Amino acid sequence: MPPRKKRPRVVIDTNVIVSAAISSKPSSARDVIALWKRGFLQLVLSDAIIHESLLVLARFNLTEAQMRHWAKWFVHPAKTIKLVQPQLVKASRDPKDDPFLGAAMTAGADWIICRDEDLLRLHRFADIAIVTPEIFLESFRA
């Protein structure tokens, strides 16, 4: 595992987390989550991001054990950067995406990884690349 300072800081949108959580098939979303869980990435989170992620995960009939598993990972001190007060921004067409942008900006994230069209159309925000899991993995592995 690389030293904490050398790990890329990433914000992972809810849709990527859900995709990884509900499918047992190999996918780029699962690969991104695996990189985070193995300590190759630092996941940037805020209360708003955790709340949305758990709320959406609960809609997919995950077991109580699976929900606890995700909640535990979201507060893992060695694998996450938990922001107390991320900056408020209004930059996306969809206001639900702004907490992700604010968290990324506050933490000085390197990447926002998502499948959300409103975020992807921005391409970059405050010098932060906004990419799909596939594009992130290509760049990460290069």
Q: Is the dihedral of CA 98, 49, 33, 11 positive or negative?
A: positive
Residue 91: per-residue pLDDT: 80
Please give the model's pTM, rounded to 2 decimal places. 0.93
pLDDT bin (cut points 50, 70, 90) of residue 13 is very high
C-alpha span between 104 and 38 (Å, rounded) = 21
Model pLDDT for residues 22-48, shown as the tens digit of each residue: 999 999 999 999 999 999 999 999 999
Domain annotation for the chain: domains and CATH numbers: 4-141 (3.40.50.1010)
Comparing CA positions, the residue from 42, 46, 52, 40 lying closest to residue 15 is: 52
Model pLDDT for residues 83-141, shown as the tens digit of each residue: 888 878 888 888 899 999 999 999 999 999 999 999 999 999 999 999 999 999 999 99
